[in-house]
Amino acid sequence: MGRVPSVVVAMALLAGCATHAERFAPVETALLQGDPVRAVEILEENPGGEGDRVFYLLNRGALLRMAGEFEASNEALEAARRAIDEVDPLSVSESIGSLVVGETAFAYAGEPHERVLLHLIKAFNYLDLGDPYAARVEALQVDLRLRALAEGQQGSRYQSDPFARYLTGMIFEHLGEPDQALVAYRQAYRAYRDHAGELGVPVPRYLQYDLLRLAEYLGIEDDPAVWREAFGVDSWPPQQAHREAAHVVVIVGAGLAPRKGEQSLLAQDYRGRIHRVSLPYYHSRPKFLHGARVVADEARAETEPVHNVDAVARILLDEQMGVLMARALARLLVQKEMIDQAADRHVAAGLFMNVFTVAVDRADTRAWVTLPAHYHVARLSLPPGRQAVRIEYLGAGGGVIDARDLGEMELEAGRYHFVLDRWISPGVGSVGGREP
C-alpha cells in the first residue's frame, strides 16, 4: 500500500523542483531575442542564494559586456574573481551538506576554464575602453591562473589555454614588448599542439607566422628550423613589413557555451522506497556560425578557429565524473540511513524523509553559459590611414549568413586594432562590442 503514495508524492515534488539551468532559461530567452539589457534585468530579479554568487556574477559580467557596459562588466567580473578566491568548495560544512541535499550544497566556484576566461573577458573590456595597459595586467593574471591550473590539475587533459596565451602575446606585441610576446606565442603553440586532437583546433596559421617572424627578429636560431618543418612554411612577412602595416584583429565569440543538464536515475527498492542518483551533463547548442571574413576594400581574410569552449567544458566534466559518482553513491547511503531512522520513529516520517531526499538531490547545473561556444580570429594587415572594414559571417557551406559594417577605422602603423565581436545566432547576429 505504501508504494503508490510514495511514488506519486515524490514525482509531484520533483515536478516543482527546477534546476539552475531551468531557472536561467528566461535570461537565455531574452539574450536569444537580441536583448542583453533585458537579460541583465531578468538575471538581477533572481540572483539566487549566497552559494550562487559566482554563477550570478560571471553571467552578469558577460551580459553587461554584450550590452556595451564595459566598465560595469569588469566590476561584476572583478567581484566574481574575489568571490571565487573566497570560496572553499571543500569546506567541512559543504561536504556534509552535499551528502544530504546534493551537489548544489556547494557554493559554485567556477570551472577551471571559466576562471581563466574571466580574465580574458576583462582584457576584452579594457581593450574596448582603450586601456591596453590594464588589459596587460589581465594577461598577467591569465598567466597566474594557468600556472595554478597546471599545478592543481596534474593529470588533467586541460592544463593550459592556448587561446588565452595567444591573445596575451598579441597584447604584449601591441604594447611593443616582442620578447614577452614571443614567450606567450611559444606557450600558445605548445598548448595548441598538445590539445589539437581533443579541441579540434589546430595551430592557427597567424600564430605560425608570428612565431617565425619574432624568432627571426630577435635572432633566435634554434626554434625557427623546427617550426618551419612542423608548419610547412618557407616564408613569412618580415618584422619591418609588420611594423609598417596596421593590423585589424577581429575576434569573434560565436554562439553560447553548452548548457548543463541533469540526468537522473530513479529506482524503487523492495520496501517501496524511491532512490535517486543525479549527475550533470552538457548539452551543446546548434552551431550556426562556422567562421567569418574580414573585408577592407580589396583586402580580405577569413577567420581561423582558436578556441573551443564547448570541448573544454566537456573534457573537464568528464574528468570530474568519477568524483561526482562517488559522492552520489555516498549520498545514497547517508540518505538511506536517514530514511531508516525516520521510519523507525513513524511510518509517515519515513515516507516524508524519502520524498524529501529524492526531491532535493539534484545535479549541479550551474555554469557560465553566456560565454561563447567557440572563438574565431582573423587578422588583416592594411596600409595605415582610414579604412572601411566589414565582417561577413559564414555558415556551414561558406555562404554569408550575416554581416556587420564597422565603418571607417583610423589605422596606425605597427599597431593592433582589436575588434572584439560577439555573434549569438541567426536573427540575433552580432551583439555588444564597440563601434571602432
Give residue 282's pLDDT.
Answer: 94
Give residue 17's pLDDT.
Answer: 53
The length of the chain is: 436
Give residue 264's pLDDT.
Answer: 83
Which domains, and CATH codes, for the chain? 3-203+245-423 (1.25.40.10)
Beta strands in 216-352 (DSSP E): 246-254, 259-268, 274-283, 291-296, 299-302, 304-308
Give residue 187's pLDDT.
Answer: 93
Average pLDDT by consecutive 10-residue portion of the chain (436 residues)?
43 52 86 93 89 94 96 97 77 45 74 93 96 93 83 74 93 94 94 87 94 92 83 88 93 95 82 82 93 93 95 92 85 78 82 75 88 96 94 93 93 93 84 57
Give residue 377's pLDDT.
Answer: 97
- Pair 348, 414: CB distance under 8 Å: no
Residue carrying C-alpha cell 538531490: 361
Query: What span, in angstroms and rounded, lies between the C-alpha atoms of 364 and 369?
Result: 13
Give residue 412's pLDDT.
Answer: 93
Give residue 433's pLDDT.
Answer: 54
Give residue 100's pLDDT.
Answer: 53
C-alpha cell at 147: 600556472
Q: Which of 189, 177, 190, 184 is nearest to 218 (CA)?
A: 177
* pTM of the complete model: 0.87
First to last CA, the chain: 71
Give residue 94's pLDDT.
Answer: 43
Beta strands in 141-288 (DSSP E): 246-254, 259-268, 274-283
C-alpha cell at 186: 611559444
Q: Which of 309, 302, 307 is nearest to 285 (CA)?
A: 309
List all residues 6 or more positions away from 420 whose beta carbon is below 8 Å from its beta carbon.
Answer: 124, 127, 128, 251, 253, 433, 434
Give residue 102's pLDDT.
Answer: 60
Query: What span, in angstroms and rounded, lies between the C-alpha atoms of 278 and 260?
Result: 12
Chain center to CA of 362: 23
Give residue 327's pLDDT.
Answer: 83
Give residue 177's pLDDT.
Answer: 95
Residue carrying C-alpha cell 617565425: 212
